[in-house]
Amino acid sequence: MPSLGSHLVRARIVAQRLALSEIDRDRGSFYLGATAPDIRVLTRLDREVTHFFRLADLGEQDSVERMFREHPELATPAGLETATSAFIAGYLTHLVLDQSFIGEIYRPSFGQWSAISDDPRSNILDRALQYEMDRLDREDEPVMAEIQQTLAAAVPVRGIPFIEDKFLEEWVTVTESVAGQPADYSRFRRMMVRHIEAAGYDADAVERECADPEALIREAFGIVTPERVQRFWRDAEDQMTERVRTYLK
């Protein structure tokens, strides 16, 4: 699924498109919400708890609908704190973007519906593609600096029923740090090692693969072209924008 840099950049695009006071009054909470489904790196809970999506289920799913069904108190912004409604609006962008990526990119290109689904290398290429998508988003340094400054001033949201407050407090620091990461390959090895090892590669092969990130990325783009990635971004941004607009109307 898209990495946190991409989630932040795309959430900003949605905010710019909508220009709604419900978001702009607390853009920091909006950005925190846009990253918060991945807070499981702190909580160590199963992905489904925060994403409301079952990866093993190949049928139709709507993660936003499921979240509101399980937590109806969040479904209507009226009556919620400004920070909470902005946080949930951001949260929707993450859920929609991940669900779109699974259906439009991952499953047909690398996962269960792809021609290489049985090849252990498929997950390596998927991760390499995600890394490059994120890196390209980070190349707009003024935008990333703006996001990081907003997060630096953010106050932790409290009272989200499926995330403990202590993790939401820690997440502010984590997300600000993530926003400040450079648009380079310095994190590539750290991100890729366990996926390459899981594919059955020995230590020498792991080092060879990690030593040339651009070779892996070219291989990934041989499956999902840059043009297709751009179409995905356009479609996903439209879907995110409409879902947030509907929530805040």
Domains of the chain, residue spans = 4-248
CA distances 190 to 5, 171, 178, 185, Å, are: 16, 20, 14, 10
CA distances 105 to 51, 55, 127, 152, 232, Å, are: 18, 14, 12, 33, 8
The predicted structure's pLDDT at residue 157:
97
CA distances 210 to 123, 127, 192, 204, 215, Å, are: 14, 12, 7, 10, 9
Percentage of the chain lying above the pLDDT 70 cut: 100
Give the model confidence (pLDDT) of 116-138 as tens digits.
999 989 999 999 999 999 999 99
Query: What distance in Å separates the CA atoms of residue 221 and residue 121, rounded to the nearest whole number?
Result: 14
The predicted structure's pLDDT at residue 168:
97
Give the model confidence (pLDDT) of 154-195 as tens digits.
999 999 999 999 999 999 999 999 999 999 999 999 999 999
Structure tokens at 151: 């997060």
Mean pLDDT of 134-160: 97
For residue 8, name the pLDDT band (cuts at 50, 70, 90): very high
